[in-house]
Structure 1
Amino acid sequence: MSELTVAEATNRIYQSLEADNQDIDLHIAALKAALKREGLKEAVLDPARLPHNNRSGRKLLQAYFRQRGVKVTFASS
């Protein structure tokens, strides 16, 4: 399997979230590896693409990713 870019890994995260979190841990690990390869410290997600785009949903997502070693911020509109 070829190495994913951050953008590709992020798109897979969105797809996983839409598919009821199917394989989310694998996609988070791929995102973490892509961030490290590209020298980035955090992932920037588009809140409009999240299934639960409210404060509690975003905080829950951030906490889940943080537990797996990925810092998440959200793009401003």
Structure 2
Amino acid sequence: MSELTVAEATDKIYESLQADNAEIDKHIATLKAAMARDGVKEAVFDSTRLPQNNRSGRKMMQAYFRQRGVTVKFAE
């Protein structure tokens, strides 16, 4: 299997979030590896694509990803 790009890994995370967080830790690890490969410091997500698009949901996502070594920002 080829390595995913940051955009592809981000799409996998959106899919996982829609599927009630199925395999989310695996997808976060894939995103972290893609970010390291590409020299990206922050993962940028579109908050409109999140299942919980409120402040609480975004903060929970940021905290969960931060615990796994990924800094999350949301696109305006």
C-alpha separation in 1, matches of 2:43 and 2:36? 11
Aligned to 2:71: 71
Could you list the structure 1 runs, at least 4 aligned residues long, displaced by more than 2 angstroms after superposition: none
1:36 Cα shift?
0.4
Matching of residues 2-13 of structure 1 within 5 Å: 2-13=2-13
1:62 aligns with 2:62: yes
Matched residue pairs, number?
Answer: 76
C-alpha separation in 2, matches of 1:22 and 1:44? 20
Identity of aligned residues (%): 72
CA RMSD, Structure 1 to Structure 2 (Å): 0.3
Structure 2 residue runs without a partner (length 5+): none
C-alpha separation in 2, matches of 1:41 and 1:7? 14
TM-score by length of 2: 0.99
C-alpha separation in 2, matches of 1:41 and 1:4? 17
1:41 aligns with 2:67: no
Aligned to 2:28: 28
TM-score by length of 1: 0.98
